[in-house]
Structure 1
Amino acid sequence: MKRHLTITAICFFIIYIIIITVSAIPGNILLKASGLSQPFATALTEVVVILLWLIFDRTYLKSGITLQTTRNQQHWWMLVFILIMIGGDSLLVASYHLTVSSVLTALILGLLVGAAEEFVFRGLLISFLKKYFTLTALQIALWSGVIFGAVHVVNVSSSGNLLNTVAQILGAFGIGFLLAAIYLITNNLWMIMIGHGLIDAFDQIAFSSLSNAVGTSIFTGVLYFVAYLLIGIWLLNKYQPRVR
């Protein structure tokens, strides 16, 4: 896994599916046994996901990931791209739930899911690729986007709609690529964790789901894919982040 890039990508995909499946077990048990609410079960799942990946990193990956920010914080302006993503989702067919409890629940779940996914697909994965492979920033961002998009293929089993799943994969690839580019430039994992969390929180409020899958289409999937890919490439060309 530490020598072959394609094997690394496949392994990350398989391990993520295994870990997310195993992590859901405690919450599902409590959900059925004690009447635990679904939001709490989801939150518990995300906490377990982070803990299991931390253990896997300490015992095998040894990626060298750090949550400390070491570069100039002037790049916080890049959060504007998060607002663009939220703006894009706001144009989809939505049904907003704006009660105090629903907004608080959305913020908690969104931030937990965003933190877990960014920790894995940007923090761990990018740190691992930088440490064990000789790649350019563009190549690293592409791999991050590809793997992040690929894990969304499992959504076809829940939605039963292949075109909708393809749209999700394309959108996730574009978002993953852009967030990877921002992380490579800023070395600030907290920023993209918060940004991703706000996107998921908005989607929970707008679509009663931690994604925009309900309101998306193949057109919006392609649009997100192209737009975020171009923005990410522009940022990488502008800032030329060092990966070594």
Structure 2
Amino acid sequence: MKKLYEKSDLSFAILWIIIYCVVSIPIRGSLGDESPVMTAALAVIAAGLFAFVKKFHLEEKYGLVKWHGSAGDYLFFIPMLILMTGNLWGGIKLSYEGMAQVFAVISMLLIGFIEEMIFRGLLFRSLLNRDPVPVAVSISAVTFGIGHIVNLLAGQGGMETVVQVFFAVAWGYLFTFVFYKSGSLWMCIIVHGLVDVFSKFAAFNNQSENIYVVSTIIISILYCIYLSRKPTALKYELDILLKNQQNEK
């Protein structure tokens, strides 16, 4: 793993995406989110990611640190927190009973951590060193959204998956901008995890789902425009890296 990372952090990111998909999709399709097997598999992946970052002291690079600046600089993350509750707008209903609901909740929290670490941490950071910022942001966001097409393999309906892709792309842009501007991934991890958790407590109906999707797209656009005018934490870190590389030459 370390040798691959040192050789190409982009290849390293892609490898983790493959591992995540290969492990989670078959389990999710056959056993479901409520399976303890699913929870255990996700826990192993999350532990592997966290251990790698901690072992090689990459917390700052991958955002496992407090955000730069005051919370007020990011509007106290209120747009994210509002959208985080969207799955509950149609009412509350447990998706499972007993321990199955507990396992589903834990799995959703783990997915929030894993997907943010992979798509915003590993993938976006590797792209940021190669491509212009708009390209890196877009690839991270769109890849995250398109990645939800794999839900078809887990038995999800076609139209539901299409809507979820657009929904996920909007969240992808929002999460990526927050990480890029704040330098911290924690708020993205927390919000992402709770969005998924609340989906397991949601009494879904078409009207509330449509309102949520439209609201997510509109608020994400406005929030990203606002954040685009704020100082950039990761740009500062990238400048330091480039200066260090130049000094070594």
TM-score norm. by structure 2 comes to 0.68
| SS, match of residue 72 in structure 1 | coil
1:192 corresponds, among 188, 212, 233, to 188
User: Contact (CA 8 Å) 1:170, 1:224: kept in 2 or not?
Assistant: no
Q: CA deviation at 1:163?
A: 1.8
- 1:140, 1:122 → 2: CA distance? 10
1:187-208 alpha-carbon deviations (Å, 9 max, x no partner): 111221112112111111225x
Which of the numbers 224, 233, 236 marks the counterpart of 2:228? 236
- Deviation readout 1:103-145 (Å, 9 max, x if unpaired): 7555533322211111111111222122x31422x44332221
SS of 2:202's partner is helix
> 2: CA distance between counterparts of 1:39 and 1:80?
33
8 Å CA contact 2:36–2:103 kept in 1: the answer is: no
Partner in structure 2 of residue 113 of structure 1: 111
Output the aligned Cα RMSD: 4.1
Tell me what 1:5 maps to. none
CA distance in 1, matches of 2:84, 2:182: 21
Paired residues of 1:141 and 1:180 also in contact (CA < 8 A): yes
Rounded Cα–Cα distance in structure 2 between residues aligned with 1:162 and 1:222: 19
Checking the alignment, whether the CA contact within 8 Å between 2:173 and 2:220 is kept in structure 1 is yes
CA distance in 2, matches of 1:221, 1:240: 29
Amino acid at match of 1:82: M
Q: Distance in 1 between matches of 2:115 and 2:173?
A: 13
Task: Report the equivalent of 1:72.
Answer: 69
Partner residue of 1:175?
171
| Deviation by residue 1:168-202 (Cα, 9 ceiling, x = unmatched) | 00000001110111111211112211121121111
Distance 2:212 2:67 in 1: 36
- Counterpart AA for 2:64: L
Q: Are the aligned partners of 1:148 and 1:176 in contact in 2 as well (CA < 8 Å)?
A: yes
Which whole-Å CA distance do the structure 2 matches of 1:117 and 1:213 have between them?
A: 26
User: Would you say the 8 A contact 1:164–1:218 is kept in 2?
Assistant: no
**Does the Cα contact within 8 Å between 1:125 and 1:144 map onto a contact in 2?**
yes
Identity %: 23
Quote how far apart the aligned CAs of 1:161 are. 2.7
- Are the structure 2 counterparts of residues 221 and 166 from structure 1 closer, same or farther at C-alpha, using a change threshold of 3 Å? farther
CA distance in 2: counterparts of 1:39 and 1:68, whole angstroms: 31
Q: CA–CA distance in 1 between the matches of 2:112 and 2:172? A: 12
Per-residue deviation, residues 56-86 of structure 1 (Å, max 9, x unmatched): 989xxx9943523362243575432232213
- Runs of 5+ in structure 1 lacking a partner? 3-7
- TM superposition shift of 1:38: 3.8
Q: Quick one: which amino acid aligns to residue 65 of structure 1?
A: Y
Give TM-score scaled by structure 1 length: 0.69
SS at match of 1:126: helix
Say whether 1:40 aligns with 2:42.
Answer: no
Deviation, structure 1 residue 146: 0.5
User: What SS class does the counterpart of residue 164 from structure 1 fall into?
Assistant: helix
Question: More relative contact order in 1 or in 2 (CA 8 Å, sep 6+)?
Answer: 2
Q: Who is 2:122 aligned against?
A: 124
Q: Which residue number corresponds to residue 219 of structure 2?
A: 227
Aligned pair in 2 of structure 1 residues 20, 45: CA closer, same or farther (>3 Å)? farther
